[in-house]
Amino acid sequence: MFETHLTVLFHCLILAFISAARKEKYIVCPPKVGCIRGTTMSGYQKGPFEAFMGIPYAEPPVGALRFRNPIIKARWFNTYDATQFKPDCIQKNRLVPHPTIFGDEDCLYLNIYRPKVRLRRLPVMIYIHGGGFFSGSAGPLITGPEYIMDTESVILVTMSYRLGALGFMSTGDYNMPGNFGLKDQNLVFKWVRRNIESFDGDNKKVTIFGQSAGAVATHMHLINPYSKNLFHRVISMSGTANAPFAITKNPLEQARETAKLCVIQNADTLSTAKLAEALRNVNIVTLINAGDGLKHWDVDPSSVYRPVVEPPSIDAIIPADPEKMMKSIYFQKRPWLLGTVPQEGAVRAINIIENPILRQKFNERFQYLYQELLEWPNRFTPRQAKDKTEIIVDEYLDDYFRIKNRTEAGFLNSITDRAFKHPLYEAIYEYWKIPGGKFPHFMYSFNYKGPFSYATFFTRANVTGKYGVVHCDDLIYLFRSPIIFPDFDKTSVEAKVIEKFVKYLVNFATFGYTVDVPPIGFCGTDVLDSRPHGICDYHEFVNNDSIPEGFEVVVKSDFPTANVKLWQELLD
């Protein structure tokens, strides 16, 4: 009996040792941070990989730290449990039916995913999620790492950053300079530079990439002279820093209006120091709901709180207007991959088109609401904005001042071109005009149409088959999103598209240029000038049912808008 107990005890000790050894295998101890325990996750096509989730990179931005630049998290001296992801940053997504407030104000956490087998230091990809600066998630239920980790060749970092008023409200001066969400991202870049080697990552081969508002942010970091050497390549998917939704022009006026909606006394006359302090003490639900009062119609403007031009500081992310910074010789020159999809403007336009009530209300105030949707710069007088809107109506809607069956496509195209295509063209053109040398850029258009689409999420109806490839549809093939879309069959054409598209981006992050796709010709301003309605050669992912793969990557040069020059003239 005693020997039996010893045998049982021995086996228990062995099992405990094995269990401890398994746990120790997923413990990483960056010297400047402290030990971190991770876990494993299953891949999509490949085996498991390691996941370290919910790692704090900054002190909680609450209380006195609300509306202040992030402070790097102090070192800890125990083993931090990073086996579960943290809640998203608190937000209210007004683009979905019946929006509710969810998330946490204490949300500055990052996730690190790495292959189980690492024979060398691996390139690092840092992802900035989209969501119009007011919503979005870095969690694995929406930004799932499985497809990227199947490559077994990079380390992926995703992050949460402050959103909405908490991330972007500003008094326009040093009391509340704004861009806190961008500064959170910048702190993640610094965290990675200091600590990623402990995860077998190469801190000299870091790529930042993002989609929509996340893409706008990547471009802003690229043109920011103060972010030098924090990253080495950039991927901007469906967004650039010169997009019309990228900047708040009157931040102090907006902060005072927010304060009034929060029932702060004397909001119009408080000093900016007292205004900032009063806003720090507002109940968080009251603060977020105040954003509803800044809408001029329905959900417009969809992005209320946006990045701002800051007072000069080494902490500034946007020290000058992005249009001017794009033309500066001082910002970083890095390999740059820009992505787009054909129907970018669907993110806003199709809900107006498909919702009969919204459509009728929009038509009743068409001149005013369309003008507001086009977001003419503040430098134009009301009369100039009206005249320019009439030119757009003539060009895109055949001079019909209504959304009707014959003008739906033109209406959608006008939003696509204004918010995405023209800014993309201008960003590329200015990049090539920079004196002091030419710097590599590449572009893709994702035009593969699969069985799922974000189009259904932009409106209340199932319109997946009605529209082409819309804003966010390329994300379906980059991140697994199990709470939104079911998994594709592992032998499907879509699974092949995932493998090809993910490898396309991972190769760029690894080498700084595109690999394993048809070669594209040299691009420069001379080429751009010779194609007044086009652009340099780029890659396009397209359906092709006539070949076994069911899709292909082709070289194109006909940028899908004939109106770039028109927008250029109207906005000059």
Average pLDDT over residues 17-42: 78
Residue 14 maps to a domain: no
pLDDT at 132 over 50: yes
Residue 12 lies in a domain: no
Task: Kindly give, in sequence order, each residue whose CB lies less than 8 Å from that of residue 289, ignoring residues fewer than 6 positions away.
Answer: 92, 101
- Based on the domain organization, do 478 and 389 belong to the same domain? yes
CA distances from 133 to 66, 91, 218 (A): 17, 10, 13
Element (H, E) at 474: none
50, 146, 344, 494: the catalytic one is 344
The C-alpha angle with vertex 135 and arms to 134 and 136, in degrees rounded to 5, equals: 145
Band the pLDDT of 459: cuts 50, 70, 90. confident
Q: Which tokens is 219 given?
A: 């471009």
Query: Cβ(44)–Cβ(88) under 8 Å?
Result: no
Please list, residue by residue across 348-379, b when 16 or more beta carbons sit within 10 angstroms of its beta carbon and e when fewer do.
bbbbbbbbeebbeebeeebeebbbbbbbbeee
Tokens read off for 335 = 């390999």
Coil/strand/helix, residue 5 = helix
Is 15 a member of any domain?
Answer: no
Is the pLDDT at 35 greater than 60? The verdict is yes
The answer to whether residue 323 is catalytic is no
Average pLDDT score over residue span 468-487: 97
Q: Over 50: is that where the pLDDT of 460 sits?
A: yes
pLDDT given for residue 338 in this prediction: 96
Q: 354 lies in which domain range?
A: 346-558+567-571
3-state secondary structure of 411: helix
Residues 405 and 491 in one domain: yes
Q: Which two tokens stand for residue 503?
A: 């490898």
Angle at 158 between CA 325 and CA 309, to 5 degrees: 25
The predicted pLDDT at position 25 comes to: 67
Please report whether residue 403 resides in a domain.
yes
Tens of pLDDT, residue by residue over 516-545, are: 999 887 666 566 566 554 567 899 999 999
Q: Do the strands 441-447 and 336-340 form a parallel or antiparallel pair, or are they unpaired?
A: parallel
Q: Are residues 172 and 294 in the same domain?
A: yes
- The answer on pLDDT for 478 being more than 60 is yes
- How far apart are the C-alpha atoms of 216 and 247, rounded to whole Å? 10
Domain boundary among 308, 334, 360: 334
Strands 79-81 and 101-102: unpaired
- Rounded to an integer, what is the distance from CA 474 to the centroid of its chain? 13
Region 291-306 average pLDDT: 94
Residue 13 lies in a domain: no
Residues 79 and 213 grouped into a single domain: yes
Q: What b/e sequence results for 172-209 when a residue is b if at least 16 CB atoms lie within 10 Å of its CB, and e otherwise?
A: beebbbbbbbbbbbbbbbebbbebbbbbbbbbebbbbb
Catalytically annotated residue among 129, 221, 441, 471: 471
- Encode 29-51: b = buried (16+ Cβ within 10 Å), e = exposed: ebeebbebbbeebebbeeeebbb
Residues 6+ apart with CB under 8 A from 268: 256, 260
166 and 93 in a common domain: yes
Please tell me whether residues 80 and 225 are part of one structural domain. Answer: yes
pLDDT of 397 over the 70 cut: yes
Q: What's the average model confidence in pLDDT over 216-229?
A: 92
- How many folded domains does the chain comprise? 2
The verdict on 175 and 288 lying in the same domain is: yes
Catalytic-labelled residue, pool 135, 137, 212, 453:
212
Same domain, 279 and 380: no
Separation between Cα atoms, residue 516 and residue 526, nearest integer Å? 27
Residues 252 and 368 both lie in one domain: no
Could you count the other beta carbons within 10 Å of the beta carbon of residue 62? 14
Q: How would residue 95 be classed by pLDDT, with cut points 50, 70 and 90? A: confident
pLDDT value at residue 300? 92
Q: Is the pLDDT of residue 400 over 90?
A: yes
The pTM for the full model equals 0.93
Tell me the mean pLDDT in the region 63-80. Answer: 97
- Domain assignment present for residue 252? The answer is yes
pLDDT reported for residue 379: 87
Distance CA 520, CA 514 (A): 9
pLDDT band at 19 (very low <50, low <70, confident <90, very high): very low
| Average pLDDT score over residue span 361-386 | 94
Write down the pLDDT at residue 534.
52
Query: 356: cis peptide before it, omega within 30°?
Result: no
pLDDT (0 to 100) of residue 5: 41
Last-in-domain residue among 334, 362, 384 = 334
pLDDT of residue 18: 33
- Strands 538-543 and 551-556 come out as antiparallel
- Regarding predicted confidence, which is higher, 336 or 439? 336
User: What share of the chain has pLDDT > 90, as a percent?
Assistant: 79
Measured CA to CA in angstroms, residue 394 lies from 52, 375, 380, 402 at distances of 54, 18, 20, 12
- According to the model, what pLDDT value does residue 22 have? 41
pLDDT surpasses 50 at 286: yes
- ∠ CA 225-226-230, nearest 5°, is 105
pLDDT at 526: 62
pLDDT in the model for residue 437? 52
C-alpha to C-alpha distance for 314 and 12, rounded to whole angstroms: 57
> Does some domain include residue 19?
no
Read off the CATH number of the domain in which 445 is found. 3.40.50.1820
Instruction: Grade residue 435 by pLDDT with cuts at 50, 70 and 90.
Output: low
* Cβ atoms < 10 Å from Cβ of 566: 17
Same domain, 392 and 501: yes
Number of C-beta neighbours around residue 279 at 10 A: 24
Taking the alpha carbons at both ends of the chain, their separation in whole angstroms is 92
Judged by average pLDDT, the poorest of 5-14, 157-166, 198-207 is: 5-14
Once rounded to an integer, what is the mean pLDDT over residues 389-393? Answer: 97
Same domain for 255 and 114? yes
Q: What is the pLDDT at residue 1? A: 40
Told to judge if 471 belongs to the known catalytic residues of this protein, a careful annotator would answer: yes
94-125: burial string, b at 16+ Cβ within 10 Å, e else: bbeeeeeeebbbbbbbbbbbbbeeeeebbbbb
State mean pLDDT over 326-341: 88
Out of 108-122, 393-407, 423-437, pick the least confident: 423-437
Closest CA to 210 of 387, 86, 92, 337: 337
Do 288 and 221 lie in a common domain?
yes
Classify residue 11: in a domain, yes or no: no
Q: How far apart are CA 45 and CA 413, in angstroms?
A: 37
In percent, the amount of the chain with pLDDT more than 70 equals 92
Q: What is the mean pLDDT of residues 406-420?
A: 96
DSSP codes, 186-244: HHHHHHHHHHGGGGTEEEEEEEEEEETHHHHHHHHHHH-GGGTTS-SEEEEES--TTST
**3 catalytic per annotation:** no
Distance CA 204, CA 543 (A): 37
Give pLDDT, residue 8: 39
Size of the chain in residues: 572
- pLDDT 10s digits, 37-51: 999 999 999 999 999
Higher-confidence residue: 23 or 291?
291
| Domain final residue, candidates 290, 314, 334 | 334
In the predicted model, what is the mean pLDDT of residues 375-390?
93
Mean pLDDT, the chain, as a whole number?
Answer: 91
